[in-house]
Amino acid sequence: MLEQTMRQRRVKRVGTVVQVLIALLMIALIVLAYQNKDGSVSPLFLPFPAIILVVVMCGFLMNVVSIIFNAAEIGVVDTAGRKFMVSQHGMRVARATGIIVLILFIVFLLLIPYVETAISTDEREPIDLSTIKVDTFDNIDEFDAEYAERVIIDVQSGPDVHYALYYKESATNTFEEKNVSVVPSGTVGYIPIKDYPRGEYKVELFIEESGNLTESDVIYKIERHINPDLELALTWFLLVIAIANIAWTVVTYVLMRKYETASVGGLADLPEFESE
């Protein structure tokens, strides 16, 4: 009995040490991600998605380690009663974890498209000969959670629309021209921004006189998306964690039922029953 208890404690102790090592690795990776993504306090830029991805990945690793050592603990105990209790504990933890993570996965999977629609700007306005529409924006927010994919210029009617895209150079603090073109009337123009460097941008829209047409009807939109790292962490990584825990719930349930009958007599071997 004493040898069995010592083996069980040894497995738990090793499992705890491994979990602590993973936690230390997670801290180191968070610091590395912060530096690699050029995180800063002033101006504020916190690479939140990269940090969340590291946390979720390490959380998944810790979860797998927990499952492995739960299986090892079931293997080292001798009596059916103890195997039943360890299996039951593993099933309860895995079931709760699997359900919670699966719910989070479903919520984030459904929520992300609505968030992307909400953060994308979409406005319709006329542009006449005396008007130059100017819009300034950051292509990536200060938490790196969203980015501008592209600017969409939909010319519904009127003269062709000229546009110019500028990038604000941090060294000179002035806007430098990056893209200039024309969107013909009745067509849609796209200005890709995704691969441009992080910073502040400016778009100017204007028209030139074309016969009797002096005004263009334009739909102007900045299409934004959630950072891919954040989307990966909050959806597919969560799904993998949920599947792993649901699978372990099934396995431990089968083991628990296997030892349930035999554990009626084996419960006397458990510490809480020895004094009775």
81-118: pLDDT as tens digits:
888 889 999 999 999 999 999 999 999 999 999 999 99
pLDDT per residue as tens digits for the range 246-269: 999 999 999 988 887 665 554 444
pTM: predicted TM-score of the whole model, two decimal places: 0.81
Contacts of 110-116 with CB under 8 Å at 24 or more apart are 112/226, 112/231, 112/234, 112/235, 115/226, 116/146, 116/224, 116/225, 116/226
Sequence-ordered alpha helix ranges (H) in 214-235: 228-234
Strands 200-207 and 133-138: antiparallel
Q: Which residues of the chain have pLDDT under 70?
A: 1-5, 261-276
The first and second tokens of residue 250, run together, are: 């099934």
Domains in the chain (CATH in brackets) are 2-116+230-274 (no CATH), 122-226 (2.60.120.680)
- Tell me, what's the pLDDT at 276? 38
Rounded to whole angstroms, the Cα distance separating 50 from 131 reads 42
Contact partners, residue 169, CB within 8 Å, separation at least 6:
175, 176
- Tell me, what's the pLDDT at 3? 62
Rounded to whole angstroms, the Cα distance separating 178 from 248 reads 54
Strands of the sheet containing 200-207, edge to edge, are 133-138, 200-207, 161-169, 174-183
pLDDT per residue as tens digits for the range 223-234: 999 999 999 999
